[in-house]
Amino acid sequence: MALQNWLVYLLAAAGLSLSPGPNGLLALTHGALHGSRKTLFTIFGGTFGFVSVIALSMFGIGALLAASLVWLEVLKWVGGLYLVWLGIQVWRAPTIGLDAPAAPRPQASGWSLFRAGALSAMTNPKGILFFAAFLPQFIDPARSLVVQFVVMAGTFAATEFVTELVIASAAQRIRRWLARVGRRFNQACGGIFIAIGLALPLRGLIGRG
């Protein structure tokens, strides 16, 4: 993957990690209830879940590409429209917080926290649809799909891990910060998705023009 493409991918991955969603809320809640060290199990689970979703998305897309490269163009345009729609949803989303946390589970096992993180990522429609829409923008059919999977999955896993760790480690401070600027923060993340959704499909047309 070219450096400029990777930087765009990194920006979008950071936007998804930071935008309101089940795994961010889970890291926030578990960080407050169990502490940042124990919440590492939740974070590892969430990272594992997202990598699994990326694998299913990429290799499913690869099977379509083996049938026809036309599908790549179709996926790019459908994916771009979805990213614009997702950006609008994130822009309008309520801020995350801990106003009504679940019942405390101070004795939760590491496995139960890992499982919660993994299931939250693997069953989150936003994440599943995001990767199905976003990954085709960066897949190069002339290059190894396995190598591209390692780069994309590794980049997102690192971004998601760091983001959730910061959220869990500063759960109480982040809650107060989100109460003040959460709406503007959501609008910034949503704006990133809208811009990427509009720009990436058009990039291919400009490159051929």
Residue 199 lies in a domain: yes
User: Could you read off the pLDDT of 87-123 as tens digits, one per residue?
Assistant: 787 677 666 554 544 444 456 788 888 988 888 888 7
Residue 88: Cβ-neighbour burial (10 angstroms; 0-12, 13-18, 19+)? middle
What are 26's two structure tokens?
């889970």
User: Taking the alpha carbons of 195, 200, 201, 204 in that order, is the dihedral positive or negative?
Assistant: positive
**How much is the pLDDT for 209?**
47
Other C-beta atoms within 10 Å of 151: how many?
A: 14
- Decide if 91 is inside a domain: yes
Range among 4-8, 76-80, 105-109 with highest mean pLDDT value = 4-8
Number of neighbouring beta carbons within 10 Å of residue 81: 14
State how many domains the chain has.
1
pLDDT score recorded for residue 94: 65
Predicted local confidence at residue 100, as pLDDT: 44
Encode pLDDT of 123-133 as tens digits.
766 667 778 77
Q: Please indicate, yes or no, if residue 130 is contained in any of the structural domains.
A: yes
Q: Give CA–CA dist 35/48, Å, rounded.
A: 20
Range of the domain at 143: 21-95+107-208
- Answer whether residue 184 shows pLDDT above 60: yes
Give the whole-number percent of the chain exceeding pLDDT 90.
12
Q: Is 101 part of any domain?
A: no
Name the band, by pLDDT with cuts 50, 70 and 90, for residue 14. confident
32: in domain:
yes
Residue 36 scores a pLDDT above 90: no
192, 12 Cβ separation under 8 angstroms: yes
Q: Is the dihedral of CA 66, 68, 73, 74 positive or negative?
A: negative
List, in order, residues 6 or more apart from 108 with CB less than 8 Å away: 34, 38
Is residue 166 situated within a structural domain? yes
Query: Which residue has better confidence, 74 or 139?
Result: 139
> Would residue 169 count as lying in a domain?
yes
**pLDDT band at 66, cuts 50/70/90?**
low
3-class SS at 92?
A: helix
Q: How far lies 163's CA from each of 3, 32, 96, 192, 197, in Å? A: 22, 16, 15, 17, 23
pTM of the model: 0.68
